[in-house]
Structure formats: structure tokens, C-alpha cells
Amino acid sequence: MTDLKAIDGTEVSALCFGCMQFGGTADGQASRDMYEACRVAGVNFFDTAHTYTGGEAERLLGLFSRQDRERLIIATKAAYTGGSGRNNILRQFDESRARMNLDMIDILYLHRWDPDTPLDETFETLSELQQTGAIRYIGVSNFAAWQVMKAQGVANLVGTRIDVIQPMYSLIKRQAEVEIFPMAIDEGIAVAPYSPLGSGFLTGKYLTGGTGRLSTDKRYAARYGQDWMVDTAQCLSGIATEMGIDAATLAVAWAAQHTAVTAPIISARSVAQLQPSLEARNLKLTDEAYDRIEALSVRPAPATDRLEEAVF
């Protein structure tokens, strides 16, 4: 598996912090406080994107990270808008570097699959950025397994490879277990899954009338709008209470413990909201506890649907 390391050789932390809220629902001070809480907790992996909060997330991360730069792994994403053509990747990447005041960014992800741009154009561009030292690792976000492998074949032809992927994964979004995780293990690709809390659903806050993206954004409401997910969140909260820990801690620890996962991406709007997720770094679930939590949601069928041959 790709061994993600900081410039100075520091190993990647067990958790990644997602800066999506920097400069948005988290103002400058709240953003700085969360960054510092992550550093105190040993987190050295930070994720942002060209599109987040109109560029403010990148600007703030660049500001906060200057002193620690060589000990960090900083990732951003390009081509969520405008496609994965050469000119768009280079333009957005240059804007991201300028916002963060960095000459080099550790990981550059393609933010999503682009069916309209030839992959050779995309990966020749990424390979050039890598060869010139502008990026260290190449990643893809929100790709299906077949898309990763198609892109990996082209990447190999131009002398590079996909080092890290960013799928959605949580106790209530487990599709990655079917093909993405087995592919990543077989190909030696690092995995930094996002939304281990199900956009806050698994914290239990929506069960008690709390608000957040699920109550304000129709996309998230549709993504997590199934009745069985409510039952799963309720049962997880019950187990967390029984164990004397926060449901968020349990949800992140469960996602982190999958053998394919390198570092789940956690996020928050404040240090108080962030702290339970950070605590997951210290929680190693027993096999019994892991299996008990796993049983709270439906295990997706293997890709071939030959259940009698499945190895779980």
C-alpha cells in the first residue's frame, strides 16, 4: 500500500481532518482552534478542495500550516467544476497553491470522475505536476472501482500511479466494501474515506431534534433519508451509552478499523464538536465490539452475488 508520509518522513496520522467548514460554518478563530486541536492530538493529515467555501478553506489552512509544513500531509482537490482537462486542472491547482501560499501540495485529488475528458490528457497533466515537484501523490475522490482501475491503467502508461482514493464510508454507507476496498488492498492504494459519521447522522443528534446539513441541504437529506438508518443510529447510540463513550467516537473508530482504511476524514464546526471524533484515535475495538456494531447495518452483497463463496 502507498505509504503516505510528510516531507520530513513523518508517517501519516490515523485520522485526517477535513477543512470543508473552514471559513464557512466555522469562522477564522473556530477554524484555527480546530486546526490546533488536531495538531495537539497528533493529526498531520489535512484535506481541503478548490471549491470549499469559495477558497477560504484553502487560505486558512495555508495560514495555519506554515510553521508545521514539513511535518504535514496537505491534500486538495481539483476539477469538481470545469472538467479534468489540462487547462482546468492547472488553473485550479495554481489558484489553490496561491491561496495556501505553497509551492508544493502533497496530494492532489481529482474531485470527481469526468466522462468527457480523455484520461491520457488528465494523467499526463498530473504526471507533469508530479515530475516537476508540484505534487507528491496523486489521488481520486468519488470514483467507482472500475473508474479507479481504468484511470490507473492510463496512469501507469504515463509513468505514474494513483496513490490514494477518497470514497464515502460509514456504518450507514458501506458500498465501498464491495469493490473499492478490495481493489485498494490488492493495488496497494491508500484509502482516506470521508463522512464516517454519515454527515452527523451517527452522532445521534438528529434523533433528538438537532440540526445540520441533513436538515438544511436536500442532497444530504436524500442521501440519508432511509428509515433503517434511523434504527442503526439509535442502536449505535445505545451501544455507545453502554460502553460509556460518545457515539461519534464509536462511529469513527469502527470506520477506521477496516483493514483497507488508512485514515478516515473527520470534520466539525467547533472544537467541542470535533473532540469526540478525535478521541477515536485512542479507541481499538475488540473483535466482539466491532462485529456487534457491524451487525447494525446491512452488509452489502459481494460484487458477484455468489454469497456462498464470499470471504468477509
Question: Which positions are annotated as active-site residues?
Answer: 52
Of 177, 158, 171, give the one whose Cα is nearest residue 201.
171
Decide: residue 33, CB within 10 A, 0-12 exposed, 13-18 middle, 19+ buried. middle
Residue whose C-alpha is closest to residue 18's, from 1, 31, 3, 5? 31
Three-state secondary-structure class, residue 276: helix
Strands 164-166 and 105-110: unpaired
How far apart CA 285 and CA 269 sit, in angstroms, is: 27
Closest CA to 243 of 253, 258, 256: 253
Pseudo-torsion of CA 217, 222, 228, 230, nearest 10°? Answer: 10
